[in-house]
């Protein structure tokens, strides 16, 4: 009977091997790997989706895309339509391989589309099989998403990889899709993204610039923060580390600009809210620890009084920028990019429950108080300017 047991064991193994088979799997050679996608609004009001797809080595090089060693590395393909499903169907009919979003690292929204309003098409694109919510979200500034994705970038073989690496440096505003969508659905804060400028330099080479930020309110782009204003937003998010700030400490004189430049070692903010006659008031505390990078004055930074003087000048310089940024966000853009609403939600739940749906109307009128604390932690190995003559 032992042979019967052997047959049974073999039959069981064969059954399991059939059950675990991947009958619906897609082979790598059957997939079109989307590395970046873009969404624009056309002149006639239709949506246009652009995909940047990695080219396999064996694919002919006569298609539009990036180059490396004379060979094109990406295919850029676009289609227009009424909705996301319609557009993706049209795109798929033009490709021999199945569209796959699992490796998409960047999603770009064209400025015209963003100002018109992000509607259900974005939701449809995110629901497409394989989509991941850890893609970086960017807003095109002064250009379309299609033009940005067509820009050839010399330093990386694939432009989408260059954009993703630039987001990973930590020097700019990096916002992933899940964070953006979460802010869009929140009553207590407004959504922001990095702002992308794509252009061709005088040498005819493509370049990317991510030095600004895009601000959204109620699903629409309402404006851009400048490079300096973006620093304040990064400060609030605790992401300002590594940025440089320069202050005019003394009057300019022969041989000296009178400036001191510092590098941000640590930066954070704290919010405090209170109710006054039934209305909220906010206080924002900005804290930063810095190190001196360059000293273009006659001051000896090893002396306590000089350090205090520099700290005071830095504080004054940053206070003006903070005040102007907060004022623009509150009065001009009317977008709660500093998440004051979230703080009120936490600390004044009863008020928030009654007023959260009116927060966009209340926010522009709430009183704001700013307090700043900047401390010099390091002054470098040279206390006084190296070119200053000894007395």
Domain ranges of the chain: 27-225, 228-391
- Amino acid 130: pLDDT: 72
Reported pTM:
0.85
Cβ atoms within 10 A of the Cβ of 232, count? 25
- Runs of H (alpha helix) within the chain: 2-19, 84-93, 111-116, 120-127, 145-150, 159-168, 177-184, 227-237, 304-327, 340-347, 349-355, 359-362
User: Length of the chain in residues, anyone?
Assistant: 391
Residues facing residue 193 across a β-bridge: 214
pLDDT of residue 62: 42
First-to-final CA distance of the chain: 107
Task: Tell me how far CA of residue 77 lies from CA of 38, 108, 109, 200, in angstroms.
Answer: 10, 14, 16, 20
Low-confidence residues of the chain, pLDDT below 70? Answer: 1-26, 57-70, 120-122, 124-126, 128-129, 381-391
- For residues 170 and 153, give the distance between their C-alpha atoms in angstroms, rounded to a whole number: 20
Options 3.40.50.170, 3.30.300.210, 3.30.980.10, 3.40.228.10; CATH for 228-391 is 3.30.300.210
Question: Where are the strands (E) in 177-258, listed by range?
Answer: 192-200, 206-217, 220-225, 244-248
Rg (CA), the chain: 27
Give SS3 for 248: strand
Q: How far apart are CA 367 and CA 384, in angstroms?
A: 42
CA–CA separation, 187 and 210 (whole Å): 27
Check residue 7 and give its pLDDT.
52
Please give the pLDDT value at position 65: 47
């Amino acid at each position: 009977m032992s042979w019967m047991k052997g047959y049974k064991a073999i039959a069981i193994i064969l059954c399991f091997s059939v059950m675990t088979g991947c009958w619906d799997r897609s082979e790598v050679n059957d997939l079109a790997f989307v590395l970046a996608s873009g969404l624009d609004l056309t002149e006639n009001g239709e949506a246009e989706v652009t995909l940047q797809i990695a080219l396999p080595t064996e694919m002919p090089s006569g298609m539009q895309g990036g180059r490396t060693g004379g060979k094109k590395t990406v295919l850029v393909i676009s289609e227009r339509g009424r909705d996301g499903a319609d557009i993706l169907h049209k795109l798929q009919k033009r490709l021999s391989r199945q569209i796959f979003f699992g490796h998409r690292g960047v999603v770009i929204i064209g400025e015209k589309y963003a100002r018109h309003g992000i509607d259900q098409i974005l939701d449809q694109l995110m629901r497409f099989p394989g989509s991941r919510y850890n893609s970086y979200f960017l807003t095109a500034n002064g250009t379309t998403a299609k033009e940005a994705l067509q820009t050839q970038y010399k330093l990386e073989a694939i432009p989408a990889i260059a954009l993703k690496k630039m987001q990973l440096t930590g020097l700019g505003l990096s916002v992933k899709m899940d964070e953006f969508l979460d802010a869009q659905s929140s009553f207590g804060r407004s959504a922001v993204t990095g702002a992308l400028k794509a252009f061709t330099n005088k040498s005819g080479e493509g370049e990317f610039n991510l030095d600004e930020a895009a601000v959204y309110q109620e699903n629409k782009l309402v404006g851009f923060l400048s490079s300096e204003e973006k620093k304040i937003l990064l400060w609030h998010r605790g992401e300002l580390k590594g940025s440089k700030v320069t202050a005019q400490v003394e009057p300019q004189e022969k041989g000296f600009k009178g400036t001191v430049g510092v590098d941000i070692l640590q930066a954070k903010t704290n919010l405090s809210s209170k109710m006054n006659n039934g209305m909220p008031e906010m206080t924002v505390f900005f804290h930063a620890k810095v190190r001196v990078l360059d000293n273009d004055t006659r001051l000896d930074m090893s002396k306590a009084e000089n350090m205090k003087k520099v700290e005071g000048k830095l504080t004054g310089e940053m206070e003006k920028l903070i005040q102007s940024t907060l004022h623009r966000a509150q009065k001009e853009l009317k977008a709660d990019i500093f998440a004051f609403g979230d703080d009120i939600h936490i600390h004044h739940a009863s008020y928030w429950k009654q007023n959260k749906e009116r927060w966009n109307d209340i926010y522009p009128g709430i009183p704001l108080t700013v307090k700043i604390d900047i401390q010099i932690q390091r002054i470098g190995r040279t206390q006084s300017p190296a070119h200053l003559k000894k007395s």
